[in-house]
Structure 1
């Protein structure tokens, strides 16, 4: 029997400043800041399912995510796009195929939002 589960436990995102990253991602998800910064370099963004872990220890300009390694889900791609504009988030593509678009976090990591 294969001991590896068909699950993703968490996704690590390299960030330059753990406090600024925590605030930025909590603002993105409209989450209140809860919990602590762990070991001076980790902060867990609790999501439904797989969590995001912001990690300033793994940050370098070489580790900035240039192409999306995952996407965030939305039921309404146009509403999500408008929401990102209102938040002044760096959107780097238009809505493609009426299905997805990409944006950058404040460190330049590219993330996708996709209609589910």
Structure 2
């Protein structure tokens, strides 16, 4: 078998957002992001503590013919936690739209303000 030149490593995840400044503030509050940089006026490279990087992007190139933003309609991105119950309560207290209750004592799904479905799972 020929070895692939593509690494088996995820560098970044992109999350589509309608307003990069509002999204930056919301994700900072929910994930405790302390820093990052806005690039090209439409994306925010979040300063993540560990794991893959995260980009919040208004995705001007990927909008449909009506200018509609694509969203993640399944929980394709998972954030870790050491306490799923405390994380669920934190989201609830901060008015985050919760899609599921805690499942199997391990994870739950929520939506960001743009309707992207995301997951929190206990490490």
TM-score (ref. length: structure 1): 0.90
Deviations 1:42-85 (A, max 9, x none): 10112212011011024564611110112111121111101111
Number of residue-to-residue matches in the alignment: 115
| 1:102 match: secondary structure | strand
Structure index of larger Rg: 2
Aligned match of 1:25: 27
TM-score (ref. length: structure 2): 0.85
Aligned match of 2:14: 12
Distance in 1 of aligned mates of 2:113 and 2:17: 9
Tell me the C-alpha RMSD between the 2 structures: 1.6
Could you tell me which runs of 5 or more consecutive residues in structure 1 were left unpaired when the two chains were aligned.
none
Matches for 1:34-113 after TM superposition, within 5 Å: 34-47=35-48, 48-57=50-59, 58=62, 61=68, 63-113=70-120
Could you tell me which runs of 5 or more consecutive residues in structure 2 were left unpaired when the two chains were aligned.
none
| 2:38 match: secondary structure | coil
TM-aligned CA deviation for residue 2 of structure 1: 2.0
TM-aligned CA deviation for residue 108 of structure 1: 0.5
Q: Do the aligned residues in 1 keep the contact of 2:36 with 2:47 (CA within 8 Å)?
A: no
Distance in 2 of aligned mates of 1:73 and 1:50: 12
